[in-house]
Each structure stands twice: as C-alpha cells, then as structure tokens.
Structure 1
C-alpha cells in the first residue's frame, strides 16, 4: 500500500509541475483575472487537463502493458499450450460477442493475468507463466473468461472516463483552494497570484487526489465482481470458484506494475479503501451465493 501511495504522490506531483510549466509558457492561465477566479474558464481548463492524461494513457495502454511486463504476443504458437491458449481465447471471445484480443504470455512466476486496450475489439489479454504452471486448464479458462469479461464490459474505457472526471474536479477544487490560501490566508493583494497559490494548489491536489483515488478504487472493486460473473458465464461457475481458490492458496505475491495492476485477476492489499480488488474470500463467497 505504501508503495502504491508513494508512487501516486510522486506521479501526481510530476503532473502538476508539467501542467504548471505548460500553463506559464503558453499563457493558459486565463482563469485568473483582475476580478479573481473565472470559474467557467477554470472548469474548462480542468476538464481538458483532467481528461487528456487519462485518454492518452488509455490509447497507449496496450503498448505500455506489453513493455511493462515484457509480454510476448503469441502470433505463431510454439507449443500445444500456446495453441490451447489461442483456441480458448477465440472460443470465449466469440461467446462474449467481441473480436478476439491479442493473447500474450509474460515471464512472471506469480499467478496473474490482465486485460487492457482502448477498444473492445482491439484488446490484449495476457497471462503469466506462473498462472499457467499453478492452475489446470479449467481454472485458466475461467481466468481468461474473467479477463475477457473486463473487455466485453468496457471496463478499461469506463475506468478511464471515471478517472478523467475525478481528475477534473481535483484540479478544479485544488486551484480554488490555492487561490483562497493566497488571497485570504497569505493576504496577497497583487494582480498576480504568489508562490502560496502554487504551493497550496499542489498540496491540495495531492490530498484531494488521494481521496478521489478511493472513488476510483471502489469502482475497480465493483467491476471485479462483474468480471467474475462473466468468467462464470463464459467458462463455468465451478471453474471460476476453483480459479479464485487456487489464487488464494498461492504463496506468490502478484508483481504486476502499478499502471496495469487494476486490470489483473489477483489483488491483495492492506487497506481495503485503496485496493483495486475485493478480497478473494469475498469474491468466492459472492459466486457461491449466486449458485
């Protein structure tokens, strides 16, 4: 958890610095005028900045994911296992009503898998070597169904849009807080905002960003239940439960990079509010109750 929050803080700070430089160089800070804050201009500015990063990340998600884990896309199967993977993904994708995604393997001995991509019909499903070694074919099939469920449900796009909305309001309110600190607390009466505005805005964005992360993570946990139901439908409920039980027995911790961790099958966290996945026990219980 601390690694995740630390990475968030550093990334968020870097984004703020870059935005500030761009704003100053190109004179985009038109939401500041002699009468104070122009809230309409500020909101439009926040909207553009808030959605730009999330949409660009979505469009680059497949390539970034491949590079992050060193995934090898299966174009020419090298063995029977890879033939089976392609055939299984093709069958499950057809049942889910989407075009077959790219299928890849990454060399990690922790049991995991993820799906990503900007479009339902141009996605990527990747499984770790550890997943293939620790599960039987029925269990792997269920995991593949789970990931294809993410694609068919449009989870990558929905999560990106939610992140864009969250980013917008974080940027918007952080600058209002910065302005109030500069004018009321620091009593800056000059035409331009001072260093207090910038410092307070950065601090406010970090704090608000952490709070906003809880909203995004709550949605992430919710969609895991939906993907489990998709895995149960595309494979079988028995197979999906068995796959989650196999994950819970695993002694290997998941090692997916932070930028794609929320699209994986596995997830363990010390703080529920900042976890991308519900506990495996809760997911198993929910599947059993819907039998």
Structure 2
C-alpha cells in the first residue's frame, strides 16, 4: 500500500511542477496557454510529453529504492553479497559501463530489475526469492540480462520513445478536439474559445491514442527483452541464460514488478489475447526458443 501511495504522490508532484513550468513559460514568452491555442498546445505537448518521462527517468533509482524497499549493498557483509557485487563488477567492466549500484529487495518471487538515468548511473537489484530459488549460474545469467539493459541504454531509449509518443498524443488529441468542436458548432455561434466538443473530443482521443502509444511502447519493451537475453548469454553463457529462463518458467507464481520497473525486470507476467499487446515481456517460451536457435 505504501508503494502505491508513494508512487501516486510522486506523480502528483511531477504534474504540479510541470504545470507551474508551463505557466512560467507562458508568462515569460507571452505565449497563449489557453485551451485551443496552437502555441499553447505545442508547449503543453513538449513539456508534458517529454517532461514527465525525463523526470521519471531522473527519479527512477530513488523511486525504485523506496517503492521496492531495495537495500543497496554498500559494504558486502556475506559471501553471497560479495559474490553479487563482484559478478556485477565483472560484467559491467566487460560491457564497458560504469559500476552500477547493487541491491536486494524482499520478494518471495524470483525477479530482478535494472534502472537508472544513464549507463554509468544505474541500479541492478535482485529479489530474495531469486537468490533463494536459483543456482549461482542462473543468477549470474539474470545479472547479465540486467547489465545488458543498462549497456544497451534501454532506460534512456524507452524514455525518449515514451516522450515522443506522449507529445504526439497530446497534439493530435487536441487537434481532433478542435475538429469535433468545429463540426458541432452552428454557423451563427459567435462565442470565442473552445466549446464542449473540444474538451469531450480531446478527452476521448487522449484515451484512444494513449492506448495506441502504450501498445507501441510495450512492443519495444518486448523487443528489448530479446536483446537483453542475448547480452545475458554473452556475459554468462547461453546455456546459463536458457536455464535461468526455464527456472522462471517453472515458477508458477511469477508477478510483474510494479510501475515502470516492470519493463526492466527479468520475468514479466503472463497474458493471453489482447493482454499480450500490453505485456512488457514476451512469453518465456519464445525467449527460450530464441536463445536455443541463436547461432
């Protein structure tokens, strides 16, 4: 429950900051920020579209630590902690990235994720369930998968993609709202400013285009998982990566990570029908088959 409250409060704070930023921009540059103004729409689209995505990216490590209860290993105390840190260090050096922070979060389910604002400022965290139920070779492969996400710049790339799509959604939704408003206005309507048609049309278009944008982002997320699996196979060994995915496949209680961490986890969830379109991860059997057929 505290994770949900923290996420909601953070998102609210981001929206307040972006709203204040738009207001200041409008005042400083004399831009009409009223509804229906093209200049206002463009500023709204850029600030809200990219602003929210980049603020979330910059806060991703902080959010992950608090929402998931990640305990960062600063001074390894046990053999397991020392092995985790050294394995990540070795893989990071081989991948040519800065040493990420390494942490453990409590969850009985086997999972792991990577997040951070850049290749040299990342966090790799594994669940206690993953450490308890996987062999060292399998954990090594999972760590390689997460290092692959960091080395491939997946966090930044997904943020840019999300920002671009958000911007287009805002612009096109408002344009559709204008067209709807003009269609329902009578010729003798002399009232200035947008009418109810603009707000209703924009609202519905926001929802429909938002679903389309989400489907595109999720497709890219699934594509990235195959690339991260290849990275895990390169860093730890292909058979280790295959065995790790098979171990996840045998764990029937696999759950998605909450919020944006889900896209950078190792396991993902289960889905069928239309739900597959909005899955962050491909089915495990498809990922296993891709590695088995890899040359």
Structure 2 match to 1:208:
209
> Which residue, 286, 289, 295 being the options, matches 1:285?
289
Q: 1:59 to 1:250 in 2, by over 3 A?
A: same
Structure 2 match to 1:61:
60
Q: Is the CA contact (8 Å cut-off) linking 2:256 and 2:269 kept in structure 1?
A: no
More deviation, 101-110/249-258: 249-258
TM-score by length of 1: 0.87
Q: 1:246 to 1:68 in 2, by over 3 A?
A: same
Distance in 2, Cα, partners of 1:209 & 1:147: 28
Question: What's the offset of the Cα at 1:41?
Answer: 5.7
Q: 1:176 to 1:189 in 2, by over 3 A?
A: farther
Distance in 2, Cα, partners of 1:274 & 1:126: 24
Distance in 2, Cα, partners of 1:30 & 1:116: 38
SS at match of 1:111: coil
Q: Which runs of 5+ in 2 are unaligned?
A: 1-7
Deviations, residues 244-284 of structure 1 (Å, cap 9, x unaligned): 00000002222511221111001123221101000000000
Distance in 1, Cα, partners of 2:203 & 2:291: 43
SS at match of 1:127: strand
Q: Higher relative contact order at CA 8 Å, sep ≥6: structure 1 or structure 2?
A: 1
Distance in 2, Cα, partners of 1:63 & 1:20: 19
Question: What's the offset of the Cα at 1:43?
Answer: 3.2
SS at match of 2:32: coil
RMSD over equivalenced CA pairs, Å: 2.7
Q: Is the CA contact (8 Å cut-off) linking 2:257 and 2:268 kept in structure 1?
A: no
Distance in 2, Cα, partners of 1:65 & 1:277: 19
Structure 2 match to 1:222:
223
Q: Is the CA contact (8 Å cut-off) linking 1:43 and 1:172 kept in structure 2?
A: yes
Deviations, residues 199-223 of structure 1 (Å, cap 9, x unaligned): 3222211211011101100100001
TM-score by length of 2: 0.86
Structure 1 match to 2:244:
243
Question: What's the offset of the Cα at 1:100?
Answer: 1.0
Structure 2 match to 1:5:
none
Structure 1 match to 2:99:
100
Distance in 2, Cα, partners of 1:128 & 1:243: 14
Structure 1 match to 2:5:
none
